[in-house]
Structure formats: structure tokens, C-alpha cells
């Protein structure tokens, strides 16, 4: 008899299941404790996920993992209110991918016996709802709805996420410390980035010519250095994948372009495509192991999202794989429409071929404002960061030294170029940027920040358009020459009317070499 009692008690204990309870308004829900990793507060920063269903609040970075957050209220009612900072997020482990479920408040851990549970069944072929059953407690006075994690999250790109995570771990082992560089921009309320190698040029928005022969994705075309280039609105690409051809052209015709909007000219396979974005922000450097895979609740264009990185200002940047933004069929459709509109003769084709052959004889320049517009070879700039108020100013520094800034655990000296060149001071604005440059010193590579009024464009210029600056612009005394003292060359930018510019080329090494003589701390 004692053996029988012990066996019965063991079976009873084995049948008891653990659940975590959560509150959503007046309703109480439960999740199997085995799938709950942890419960966290609502994050300070939530990033919008492109092409996501309305119940996906966004994503956030939890200790190096991107967590998509499902707003449970909007699963049941798409018009439910947005999340509040007081809400909680339960982190679920779904097939090796972490997903957050948003609740109003947490409850308790429950030990549930089989007789307290009931399950729901669905007809074959019917859509599986998120409620898997119920739990009755307190003699039926307390009812909890049991959520089915698998039906709730429905992540379609789990294989891709796991593959990216595995590839990232392998790359981190093979190339620990490998640096990458990308250009970040805003579109559709989120921050994205193209790999630097994909970008040919970044330009202000010129006249975009719409046509009924354009594809559904194509806003129109621009004349880019003598060749027609198709323009895609990046926000439309992310928010309205099914936009019709008529609506795409109508939006282009009625659009009033804003001053910050830019066209990013990218090379995709053998095609040149322009993407209209809301603004171009900065150059971002990151390490291969910093790239985090993004779990998406939609398979639409999932391949274009290479991952996510977190910048020093705790801003999440979605890094794009430019090769998978558009399908081959979409590119062919765009090019076919332009070929019908603008057929080229043999002479024009030869001109384009010659232009492509000269591609290796070009340099990429970044233009920035310091009262006037100047250019610097982009390879001289390590990265671009927003101006920060967290600059510490130790005593005894010269006036042109703004102070010291902690950039990812490394102190950089920030130089106020306006003060250095004797220009009138101005208040820092949202457009103020710091160009981070490097110089080999006695302690290895040293970083310095150059404060500029704003960053303008990125452009590719043929070497034949660069000349020595006229003698009248030079000075033997750099201190009295202003910025031109550190700019021995100029570049001539082709264009019609006001678009034709001649810009002085800023030489970072020349400036840092001069500062090394003035500041002992910079001396090699």
C-alpha cells in the first residue's frame, strides 16, 4: 500500500504544469512557464519594424538580441490603444528566437492540475487562434485564458534569423574586430543604413520625371550624369508593397520634396537605382559581431534586412542588404520602362560604356558646411556622429578645443573648426555634426572630432575634375588663411546653372599635422 500511495503522489506531481499569469485590462491570461525566458519593463527606445502587421509594436535591443514586441491588445482589437511605459513585456523563446509579448501587468506563477485545465480544438484547415484553452481556479470563480505561443507569434523568417545568427557567430570567431562602414538614413519613421560599398552618390532631389511606362515601384526617372536612373520612394517600398502604378506616379506628381530629402544612388548588380529617403544622417562604423538578426512577423522582403546595430546614442539602425531590396524581375521592369521611353543610339551607349570604364578613376567626397560648403575625401573620415552635450572640457585647453568626448570607451579630442579658423561662433543645432578622423600617434591610432555646421551630400567625382587651388586662395600663414589654408585643391562639379559648383577640398592630415605642432598632446 505505501508503494501505491507514493506512486500516485509522484504521478500527480508530474501532471502539475507551471504557468505565468498576466493581466490585460480586466482579463487574465496565462503562458506556459517553460517558454517564458524573463519579464522586462517597457524599453526606453522602441524601433518601428518595416512591413510588419499592425499588432507588432516594434523591436528593441535586449543584451545584444533584437526582440520584436507583439501588442497583445491589438491582436484582439487592431484599434486598441498604443503601449504605455508602465506595461510589461514577457520574453518568449520560440524555436530559438526571442519574442516579446506586451501585457499591462504581470501576475503570478501558477501550479495547475490537469482537472483545472481545458483545451480548445479547431476544425481542420481553420486558422489557429491564439487562445489554446482555459484554466479555472478558485472553484470556477477565476478564469484564465491560455495563450498558444506558436500561434501567437507566427514568425515567418525563423530559418533566416537562425542562419544569420549562426553566420554572425562564425564571422565573429573568424574576423574578430573586423570593421564595416555604412551610411545611415531615415525613411518611414525608422533609421536604415546602406553598406558604403553599395553607394555611388548621394544627391539633393532633382526634377523627377513621372511616366505611365514606369513600373509600380518606380516614382520616375532622373538624369544622372547623362544616364536615366529609376527612382524608388523608400518609404513607399516599406509601407505600401502593393501600391499601384497610378498611385505611385500620382504621389510623385503631387509631392512637395522637403529640404532634407535626398536621393541615394546605389548599384544593385549591374543596375543603378536611386532611392528617395527622408534624410541622410551619418556614417556609421560597426564590427561584424555587432550585427544582430531581426525576427520579422512577415516574409515580405525579409531578405533585405541584414540585421540591426545599436549606435552610441542608443539608436537602433536597420542595416540593409542592398542586393535583396529589389527582385531581379522588379529591376528588369524598371529598366524596360526606361528603355522604351529613352532608347539610346550606339554613340550614347558608347559614352555610357566609357563612363563606366572611368569608374575606377573617381573619388568619393563628403560635403559639409562651415559657412561655405567644402568637400573632404570620404576615406579620410572614420565616421560621422551627432553633436553631443556630453563633451567634457578639462582646464587649460586652447579655445579651439571644444573638449573630450567618450566614443565607445575611447576618448576623442573635439576641435571646434569655427573657433580654430577665427570664424564667428554659432549655437550648435540639430544639424551640427562631428567628423571623426584618425591619426597615427605615439600611442597608436588616435581619434579626433571635427565640429562642422552640417553634413550635406556624398558624391563621386572623377579625378580629372580636381585641380590645384588658385594661388590667391592659398596663404603661407595657415592661421590667417581660414579653412582655405588647409585646402590645397578644389573640385569642379558639373551641372547646369547653380548646380555647377567649385568646392575647396579639405585635407584632414594637413590639419592634424599642424595641430600636432601646436598641441603637445597631439604630438606623435
HSE, CB side, 13 Å, CA atoms: give it for residue 200. Answer: 19
Residue by residue, DSSP assigns 271-318 as: EEEEEEESEEEEEEEEEGGG-B----S--TTGGGEEEEEE-TTS-EEE
| pLDDT over 70 (residue 246) | no
Q: What's the mean pLDDT in 211-232?
A: 79
Across 421-455, b (16+ Cβ under 10 Å) vs e yields beeeeeebeeebbbbbbbbeeeeeebbbbbbbbeb
Q: Looking at residue 2, what is its pLDDT?
A: 43
The region of weakest confidence among 25-29, 130-134, 256-260 is: 256-260
pLDDT bracket for residue 270 (50, 70, 90)? confident
Q: What's the mean pLDDT in 417-422?
A: 88
The residue ranking higher by pLDDT, 11 or 217, is 217
Q: What is the four-CA torsion angle of 187, 429, 473, 509, rounded to 10 degrees?
A: -70
Q: In what order do the strands lie in the sheet with 179-187?
A: 279-287, 179-187, 190-195, 316-320, 305-310
Q: What's the mean pLDDT in 235-245?
A: 63
Which segments of 25-93 does DSSP mark as H helices, in order?
72-76
The answer to whether 36 and 91 have CB atoms below 8 angstroms apart is yes
| pLDDT over 50 (residue 276) | yes
Q: Looking at residue 9, what is its pLDDT?
A: 45
Alpha-carbon gap, residue 236 to 276, rounded angstroms: 10
173's grid cell = 570567431
| pLDDT over 60 (residue 199) | yes
| pLDDT over 60 (residue 286) | yes
DSSP state at residue 424 = P
pLDDT bracket for residue 109 (50, 70, 90)? very high
Burial of 101 (0-12, 13-18, 19+ CB in 10 A): buried
Q: What's the mean pLDDT in 405-434?
A: 87
Q: Looking at residue 40, what is its pLDDT?
A: 94
Q: What's the mean pLDDT in 65-74?
A: 88
Alpha-carbon gap, residue 276 to 203, rounded angstroms: 10
| pLDDT over 70 (residue 54) | yes
- Among residues 299, 287, 282, the alpha carbon closest in space to that of 458 is found at 282
| pLDDT over 90 (residue 172) | no
- Among residues 512, 286, 293, the alpha carbon closest in space to that of 415 is found at 512
The residue ranking higher by pLDDT, 143 or 399, is 143
The answer to whether 124 and 134 have CB atoms below 8 angstroms apart is no
Domains for the chain: give ranges and CATH numbers.
Answer: 2-154 (2.40.50.180), 159-348 (2.40.50.180), 361-519 (2.40.50.180)
Across 41-80, b (16+ Cβ under 10 Å) vs e yields ebbeeebbbbbbeebbbbbbbbeeebbbbbbbbbbeeeeb
The residue ranking higher by pLDDT, 288 or 146, is 146
State the CB neighbour count (10 A cutoff) for residue 322. 20
pLDDT bracket for residue 104 (50, 70, 90)? very high
pLDDT bracket for residue 181 (50, 70, 90)? confident
436's grid cell = 571623426
State the CB neighbour count (10 A cutoff) for residue 462. 16
The residue ranking higher by pLDDT, 481 or 58, is 58
Query: What are 77-97's pLDDT values in tens digits?
Result: 888 888 999 999 999 887 777
Query: What are 334-393's pLDDT values in tens digits?
Result: 766 655 555 554 444 455 555 555 444 778 899 999 988 899 998 888 888 888 888 888
- Among residues 226, 200, 230, the alpha carbon closest in space to that of 217 is found at 230
Q: What's the mean pLDDT in 51-55?
A: 80
Alpha-carbon gap, residue 242 to 78, rounded angstroms: 21
Alpha-carbon gap, residue 356 to 399, rounded angstroms: 47
Spatial neighbors of 82 by CB under 8 A, at least 6 apart, are 57, 71
What percent of the chain has a predicted confidence (pLDDT) above 90? 17
Q: What is the four-CA torsion angle of 385, 390, 393, 399, rounded to 10 degrees?
A: 50
Indicate the average pLDDT of the chain.
Answer: 78
pLDDT bracket for residue 523 (50, 70, 90)? very low
Q: Looking at residue 93, what is its pLDDT?
A: 84
Q: Looking at residue 466, what is its pLDDT?
A: 87
Query: What are 490-504's pLDDT values in tens digits?
Result: 888 876 556 678 888
Tell me the pTM.
0.67
What percent of the chain has a predicted confidence (pLDDT) above 70? 75
Q: Looking at residue 168, what is its pLDDT?
A: 54
The answer to whether 57 and 80 have CB atoms below 8 angstroms apart is no
Amino acid at each position: 500500500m505505501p508503494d501505491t500511495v507514493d506512486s500516485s503522489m509522484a504521478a500527480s506531481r508530474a501532471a502539475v504544469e507551471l504557468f505565468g499569469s498576466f493581466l490585460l485590462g480586466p482579463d487574465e491570461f496565462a503562458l506556459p512557464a517553460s517558454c517564458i525566458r524573463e519579464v522586462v519593463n517597457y524599453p526606453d527606445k522602441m524601433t518601428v519594424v518595416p512591413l510588419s502587421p499592425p499588432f507588432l509594436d516594434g523591436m528593441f535591443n535586449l543584451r545584444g538580441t533584437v526582440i520584436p514586441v507583439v501588442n497583445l491588445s491589438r491582436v484582439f482589437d487592431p484599434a486598441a490603444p498604443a503601449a504605455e511605459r508602465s506595461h510589461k513585456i514577457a520574453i518568449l523563446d520560440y524555436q530559438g528566437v526571442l519574442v516579446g509579448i506586451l501585457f499591462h501587468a504581470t501576475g503570478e506563477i501558477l501550479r495547475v492540475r490537469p482537472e483545472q485545465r481545458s483545451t480548445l480544438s479547431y476544425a481542420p484547415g481553420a486558422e489557429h487562434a491564439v487562445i489554446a484553452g482555459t484554466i479555472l481556479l478558485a472553484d470556477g470563480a477565476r478564469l484564465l485564458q491560455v495563450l498558444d505561443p506558436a500561434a501567437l507569434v507566427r514568425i515567418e523568417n525563423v530559418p533566416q534569423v537562425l542562419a544569420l545568427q549562426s553566420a554572425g557567430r562564425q564571422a565573429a570567431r573568424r574576423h574578430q574586430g573586423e570593421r564595416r562602414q555604412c551610411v545611415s538614413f531615415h525613411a518611414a519613421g525608422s533609421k536604415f543604413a546602406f553598406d558604403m560599398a553599395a553607394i555611388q552618390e548621394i544627391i539633393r532631389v532633382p526634377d523627377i520625371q513621372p511616366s505611365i511606362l514606369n513600373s509600380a515601384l518606380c516614382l520616375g526617372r532622373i538624369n544622372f550624369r547623362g544616364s536615366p536612373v529609376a527612382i524608388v520612394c523608400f518609404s513607399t517600398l516599406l509601407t505600401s508593397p502593393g501600391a499601384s502604378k497610378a498611385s505611385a506616379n500620382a504621389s510623385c506628381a503631387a509631392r512637395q520634396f522637403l529640404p532634407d530629402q535626398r536621393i541615394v544612388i546605389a548599384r544593385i548588380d549591374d543596375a543603378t537605382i536611386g532611392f528617395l529617403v527622408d534624410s541622410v544622417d551619418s556614417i556609421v562604423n560597426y564590427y561584424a559581431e555587432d550585427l544582430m538578426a531581426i525576427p520579422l512577423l512577415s516574409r515580405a522582403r525579409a531578405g533585405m534586412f541584414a540585421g540591426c546595430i545599436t549606435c552610441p546614442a542608443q539608436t537602433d539602425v536597420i542595416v540593409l542588404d542592398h542586393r535583396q531590396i529589389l527582385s531581379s524581375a522588379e529591376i528588369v521592369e524598371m529598366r524596360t520602362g526606361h528603355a522604351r521611353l529613352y532608347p539610346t543610339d550606339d554613340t550614347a551607349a558608347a559614352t555610357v560604356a566609357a563612363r563606366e570604364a572611368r569608374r575606377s578613376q573617381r573619388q568619393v567626397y563628403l560635403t559639409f558646411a562651415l559657412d561655405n560648403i567644402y568637400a573632404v575625401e570620404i576615406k579620410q573620415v572614420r565616421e560621422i556622429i551627432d553633436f553631443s552635450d556630453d563633451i567634457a572640457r578639462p582646464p587649460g585647453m586652447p579655445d579651439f578645443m571644444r573638449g573630450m568626448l567618450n566614443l565607445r570607451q575611447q576618448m576623442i579630442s573635439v576641435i571646434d573648426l569655427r573657433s580654430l579658423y577665427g570664424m564667428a561662433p554659432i549655437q550648435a543645432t540639430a544639424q551640427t555634426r562631428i567628423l571623426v578622423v584618425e591619426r597615427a600617434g605615439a600611442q597608436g591610432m588616435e581619434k579626433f572630432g571635427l565640429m562642422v555646421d552640417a553634413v550635406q551630400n556624398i558624391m563621386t567625382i572623377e579625378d580629372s575634375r580636381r585641380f590645384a587651388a588658385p594661388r590667391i586662395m592659398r596663404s603661407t600663414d595657415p592661421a590667417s588663411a581660414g579653412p582655405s589654408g588647409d585646402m590645397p585643391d578644389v573640385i569642379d562639379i558639373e551641372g547646369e546653372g547653380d548646380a555647377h559648383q567649385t568646392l575647396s577640398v579639405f585635407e584632414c592630415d594637413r590639419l592634424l599635422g599642424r595641430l600636432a605642432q601646436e598641441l603637445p598632446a597631439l604630438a606623435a
